[in-house]
Structure 1
Amino acid sequence: MSSPPPPAPSSQPQAGAPANSSEALRARYGERYRWLLLMTVMMGTVASVMSSTVVNVAIPGLSHHFGLGQDRAQWVTSGFMVAMTVSMLTTPWLLARFGYRATYAGCMWLLMAGGLGGGFAQDFPLVLAARVAEGLAAGVVQPIPAIIIMRAFQPQEQGRAIGLFTMGVVLAPALGPSIGGVLVDWFGWRSIFFMVVPFCIASLWLGRRFVPATAPGGAVASRSEALDWAGLALGTAGTLSLLDGLVSLRAGPPIRAAGLLALAGICFGIFLWWQARRTRLGQASLMNLRLFAWRPFAMGSLVTAIYGTALFGSTYLLPVYMQMGLGLSASSVGMVLLPSGLVLAGAIAIVSRLADRLPANVLVSTGLAILTLSFALMVTLGPSASLWMLIAYSAIGRIGLGFILPSLNLGSMRGLEKDLISQASSVINFIRMLGGAAGVSLCAIALEWRLASHGASLAGGTNLPARLAAFNEVFLMLAALCALAMLAARYLGSHSRLQNNP
C-alpha cells in the first residue's frame, strides 16, 4: 500500500497550473512557502481550539443571564462537541469538491459568524445554534494541518512541522481560559464569543495569500461526487446518542442510559456497514474502511482512542482531585497546571526534532510509559504532599504527552497511499474526539462508583482517606489504559513514501 519515493520539489509551476495552485504559490514564495502555509492553517486551528475551550469560563454567567439549569447549560459544550466530532468526517469530501482555500475560508467565516451570533444572541436557542456553527467549523478545520504536513513536507521535515503546529495548538487551551476569565470579569460572558473574531479575520487574510485553491494532490476541485448524507446522519445520531448516554449514566435513569448506548451501538454498526457498501460500489464514503487494512493505521487508531480517553479524562480528573481530594484552592490548582503547560510546550519542541530521526513506535511507546508513570505516581500523594511534588508529577505526565503528540499521527499515516491521507486525518481526529468524550464520562462514572464503594462523596464530610482511595483507583485505571495502549503502539509506522504535493 505504499507509493514511490517523493520526487524532488520543483521551483517552477507545472505547465497550465492555475495561478492560485500549490505549484504556483510554491514557485512564488520559494522554499519557505510550506512553512507559511503551515502557519496560516495553524492560525485557523488555534481559533477553533480556543472556541472549544474558552467558553467554559462563561457558562456560569450565561446560565445566570438566561436562567438555565445545569442540564441545559451543559449543551453549550455538548452541542459544540457533537457538531465538531461529526463534521470531521466531511473534511475529505469538502476538500475534494471545493479545494483547500474555499473550504478553509468557509470554515473561518462560519466560525466568525458563530462568534458574532453567540455574542449578540438575545435568547438561549440562538446561543446554542451559534455554538453548533462554531463546532461545525472547528471539526472541518482540525484535520487539515495534518493533511498538509503529510503532503507538503519531506519525511525528514514532518516531525519538526507537526511539532511547531502542535505547540501553537497546545498553547491555545492553556492560555485561552486565563484570558477568557479576565474578559468575563471585565466585559461579561458575551466577550468570550467575540474573542475568536480577530483570529478569524487574520486567518482569512493569510488564507487568501498562502492557501492553495486546489484540492489535495494539486488537482482542480471536482464537483461530481455528492456528500454521503445518510452516513452523516447515522454518524451524528450515533455520536449524539453516545455522548447523551454517557451523561445519563451519571445523572439519568439507568433505563434511559442503556437505551441511548444501545442506540449508539446500532447507529455505529449500520454506519460501518453503509461505509463498507459505498466503498464496495465505488462511491464516496465518509470513512474508507481500506484504512484499517494498513496495520499501523489500525493500531494507531486504537492508541488514539485510548490516548484521547486518558487525556480528556485526566483533564477532568486532575482539577477535581486537587480541590476535592487534596483540599487545594482554585488558585493553587492554576499554579500547578500552568508550569505543566509550559513543560508540555518544551517537550514538544524537543521531541518534534526526534520524530524526524527515530521511529514513531519508539517515541509513542516512550510517551505512554511516562504517562503511565505519572498516573501511578499520583497514588503516592496525600494531603501532606508538597505543592512542588504535585507540580513535578503533573509535569512528568506532560512530558509523556510531549512524546506522543508529534509522533502519533505521523506513525499512523506514514506509508498510506496518498489518496487516503485526507480520510486518514479526518478519521484519526474523529476517533480521538470520541475517545475524549468517553474519557470524561468514564472518569466521572468510575469516580462516583469508587466513592460509593468506599462510603465517601465529593459533597464534603470527614472521610478524606476513603475519598483519596477512590481517586487513586481511578488514576490506576488510567495508568492501566495507557499501559494497554503500549501494546498497540509497537505497530506504528516509522517511514513515509508519500508524494510531496499538497
Structure 2
Amino acid sequence: MTTPPSPGSLAALRERHGERYRWLLLLSVMVGTMASIMSSTIVNVTIPDMSHYFTLGQERAQWVTSGFMVATTVSMLTTPWLLSRYGYRRTYAGAMLVLLLGGVGGGLAQDYSLVLAARVAEGLAAGVVQPIPAVIILYAFQPHEQGRASGIFGMGVVLAPAIGPSVGGLLVDWFGWRSIFFMVVPLCIASLWLAYKFVPVTAPGGVAANRQGDPLDWRGLLIGTAGTLCLLNGLVALHGGSVPEALGLLCASAVAVACFVAWQRRLLQRGHKPLMDLRLFQYRQFAMGSVVAFIYGTALFGSTYLLPVFMQLGLQLSASHVGTLMLPAGGVLAVTIAVVGRLADRQPTHMLVSTGLALLALSFGLMVFVGLETPLWMLVAFAILGRIGLGFILPSLNLGAMRPLDKSLISQGSSAIGFLRMLGGAAGVSLCGIFLEWRLSVHGASLSAGANEPARMAAFAETFWMLTFLCGLALLAAWQLRQPEGKGGRS
C-alpha cells in the first residue's frame, strides 16, 4: 500500500493542484519578493524629506538605504541553512512577518535611530527572501521553461520598483515620508496568506526539513558582517578625509575576507556545511557571473540612490514629479524582462548580459548631458534606455551562472550570487554618495537651494561618468561568461 504524502509537502501540493502548481508557487514567492524589493527602493524618494525632518546631512541620511543593504547582504548567506533546517514555508513566512513589523515600526518611529533599526529589520527579511525564487525556478521548472519562468517572475517583481516610486512620491507630497513605510504592509499580508496555501513545508529538492542538521555557521556570519561594515565605513572615512582611519578599516575588511575564506574551507574539509560553499567557484560560469553580479550591483544600486537625488536636488523636481517620470521606464522594463526571459532559454547568456550592460552604460553616459534646460522627454528616454538594459540582465545572469551547478549546490549558489550582488550594491550606495559629496566639494558647490547650479550639475555629471565606467568593467567580465564549445561548466 502506497503511503500518502504528508500534508503541506511538495508532493502533496503537486498532487492537489496538478500541473499549474509550479506557477502558483512562483506567484506566491513573487508577491513576497515584490514587497522586499519595494522596501529597498521606495525609501529613496523620502531621503530629502527625512534629512530635513531629522536635520541630517546626506551622508547620514543615506544610511537609511545603506543600513538596509548591509542587513540584506549579510542575511542572504543564511538562506540555504534556513531552508534546509526549517523548509520553505517557515523560512518564507517568518521573513515576511519580520518585513511587516519593520514597515509598521519605521512608519511609527519618532527617532532616527528607530527608523534605522526598522530598516535593518526589513533588510534582514529581504535578504532571506530574495534567493528563494531562483532556487524554486531551478528545482520546479524544466530547463526549457526556466527562462520563461524567470521572465514572468521578473516582469512581476519589477512592477514594485516601477510603480512604487510613483505612488511613493505622491504619498510623500500628500502625507509625508512616514506613509512610505506602510506601503509594504498589504503585500506582506497577501504573501503570508499565499505562503500557507501554496509554499511547501519541505526543503529544496522535496526532502523533509532537517531540524537536527548542522548548526548555523555563526562564526562565518560574524566575520562576513564585520568585513561588510568595515568596507562601508572605510569608504565613508575615506570621503571624510581621515586617511589613516579609512586605510585601517579597508585593511580590516580585506583581513575579514581572508579569514572568511579560510574558515569556510576549514568547515568544508571537516565535512560541515559552510555558510558559503566555495566549491561553487570551481564552476567557471558561476565564478564569472559572480564578478558581473558584484560590479553590476555597485552600478545598479548606486544609481538607484543617485537618480532620485539628482532629479530632486539637481533638477529641482518634486518627489511626485520624479515618480511620474520614472513610471514609463518601469513599464518598459517589465515588458523587456518578459521578452528576454524567453530568449534566455535559447540565446547565449554572455550576449544577453553584455547587451544589457552596454545599454545601461549608455544610459548613464547620456545622463551627463542632462541639464536644467533639457526637455523632460529626453530624461524619460534615457531612463527607459537604462531599464531596457536591466531587462536584458535580470532574467539572464542568475540562470546563466547557476545552470551548470550540481543540484545540491543550487540554494548555496543563489545565496552566494545574491550576496555578492548586494555587497556590490551596498558599496555602490555609499560610493555614489561619497563620490558626489567629494565632487561637490571640489567644485565648491552644495545640494542646498540657491547654491551654484552649474557647479552642482558638474558634480552630478562626474558621478554619472563613474557609473558608466563601472558598467564598462562589468561588460568585460560578462564577456567571459561565454562557454567554450565542447567544455563543461567547471574550470
| CA 1:437–1:34: 2 relative to 1, 3 Å | same
Q: Which of 299, 302, 309 is the equivalent residue of 1:310?
A: 299
> Could you tell me the TM-score, scaled by structure 1's length?
0.87
| CA 1:463–1:194: 2 relative to 1, 3 Å | closer
Q: Determine if the alignment matches structure 1 residue 36 to structure 2 residue 14.
A: no
The answer (yes or no) to whether the contact 1:149–1:162 under 8 Å persists in 2 is yes
| CA 1:55–1:328: 2 relative to 1, 3 Å | closer
Q: Which amino acid aligns with 1:226?
A: P
**CA separation in 2, counterparts of 1:190 and 1:318?**
21
Tell me the secondary structure at the aligned position of residue 77 of structure 2. Answer: helix
Structure 1 residue ranges without an equivalent (≥5): 1-13, 496-502
1:372 Cα shift?
2.4
Q: Which amino acid aligns with 2:336?
A: A
What is the aligned partner in structure 1 of residue 229 from structure 2?
240
Greater mean alpha carbon deviation, residues 153-162 or residues 86-95: 153-162
The answer (yes or no) to whether the contact 2:326–2:380 under 8 Å persists in 1 is yes
What is the aligned partner in structure 2 of residue 301 from structure 1?
290
What is the aligned partner in structure 2 of residue 145 from structure 1?
133
**CA separation in 2, counterparts of 1:154 and 1:51?**
31
Show CA shifts across 1:338-360 (max 9, x none): 22222211211221121122121
Greater mean alpha carbon deviation, residues 85-94 or residues 339-348: 339-348
Show CA shifts across 1:255-281 (max 9, x none): 333322222222222111111111121
What is the aligned partner in structure 1 of residue 365 from structure 2?
376
Tell me the secondary structure at the aligned position of residue 99 of structure 1. Answer: helix
Count matched residues. Answer: 481
1:166 Cα shift?
1.5
1:165 Cα shift?
1.5
Q: Determine if the alignment matches structure 1 residue 106 to structure 2 residue 94.
A: yes
1:478 Cα shift?
2.5
Show CA shifts across 1:162-210 (max 9, x none): 1122222222123223333444555555444333232222111111111
The answer (yes or no) to whether the contact 1:17–1:23 under 8 Å persists in 2 is yes
Show CA shifts across 1:191-233 (max 9, x none): 4433323222211111111111111111111122100000011
Q: Which amino acid aligns with 1:313?
A: G
Greater mean alpha carbon deviation, residues 401-410 or residues 166-175: 166-175
What is the aligned partner in structure 1 of residue 153 from structure 2?
165
What's the % identity of the aligned pairs? 67
**CA separation in 1, counterparts of 2:241 and 2:52?**
23
Q: Which amino acid aligns with 1:206?
A: L
| CA 1:324–1:20: 2 relative to 1, 3 Å | closer
1:138 Cα shift?
1.1
Q: Determine if the alignment matches structure 1 residue 426 to structure 2 residue 412.
A: no
**CA separation in 2, counterparts of 1:272 and 1:235?**
10
> Could you tell me the TM-score, scaled by structure 2's length?
0.88
**CA separation in 2, counterparts of 1:69 and 1:475?**
21
The answer (yes or no) to whether the contact 1:344–1:401 under 8 Å persists in 2 is yes
1:72 Cα shift?
5.8
Q: Determine if the alignment matches structure 1 residue 265 to structure 2 residue 254.
A: yes
CA RMSD, aligned part only? Answer: 2.9
Q: How does 1:328-407 map to 2 (within 5 A)?
A: 333-407=322-396
Q: Which of 425, 429, 432 is the equivalent residue of 1:440?
A: 429
Q: Which amino acid aligns with 2:354?
A: S
| CA 1:426–1:180: 2 relative to 1, 3 Å | same
| CA 1:390–1:176: 2 relative to 1, 3 Å | closer
Q: Which amino acid aligns with 1:430?
A: F
The answer (yes or no) to whether the contact 1:415–1:493 under 8 Å persists in 2 is no
1:254 Cα shift?
3.2
Greater mean alpha carbon deviation, residues 283-292 or residues 331-340: 331-340
Q: Which of 415, 421, 428 is the equivalent residue of 2:404?
A: 415
The answer (yes or no) to whether the contact 2:166–2:327 under 8 Å persists in 1 is no
The answer (yes or no) to whether the contact 2:302–2:432 under 8 Å persists in 1 is yes
**CA separation in 2, counterparts of 1:116 and 1:393?**
35
| CA 1:98–1:487: 2 relative to 1, 3 Å | same
The answer (yes or no) to whether the contact 1:411–1:494 under 8 Å persists in 2 is no
What is the aligned partner in structure 2 of residue 176 from structure 1?
164
The answer (yes or no) to whether the contact 2:86–2:203 under 8 Å persists in 1 is yes
Structure 2 residue ranges without an equivalent (≥5): 485-491
| CA 1:322–1:422: 2 relative to 1, 3 Å | same
Show CA shifts across 1:227-262 (max 9, x none): 000001111111122222223333463333332222
The answer (yes or no) to whether the contact 2:169–2:321 under 8 Å persists in 1 is no
The answer (yes or no) to whether the contact 1:414–1:493 under 8 Å persists in 2 is no
What is the aligned partner in structure 2 of residue 8 from structure 1?
none
The answer (yes or no) to whether the contact 1:345–1:402 under 8 Å persists in 2 is yes
Greater mean alpha carbon deviation, residues 224-233 or residues 345-354: 345-354
Q: How does 1:463-482 map to 2 (within 5 A)?
A: 464=454, 468-482=457-471
Q: Which amino acid aligns with 2:263?
A: W
1:82 Cα shift?
1.9
Greater mean alpha carbon deviation, residues 118-127 or residues 364-373: 118-127
Q: How does 1:77-116 map to 2 (within 5 A)?
A: 77-116=65-104
Q: Determine if the alignment matches structure 1 residue 213 to structure 2 residue 210.
A: no
The answer (yes or no) to whether the contact 1:58–1:189 under 8 Å persists in 2 is yes
Q: Which amino acid aligns with 2:331?
A: L
What is the aligned partner in structure 2 of residue 490 from structure 1?
479
What is the aligned partner in structure 2 of residue 285 from structure 1?
274
The answer (yes or no) to whether the contact 2:236–2:434 under 8 Å persists in 1 is no
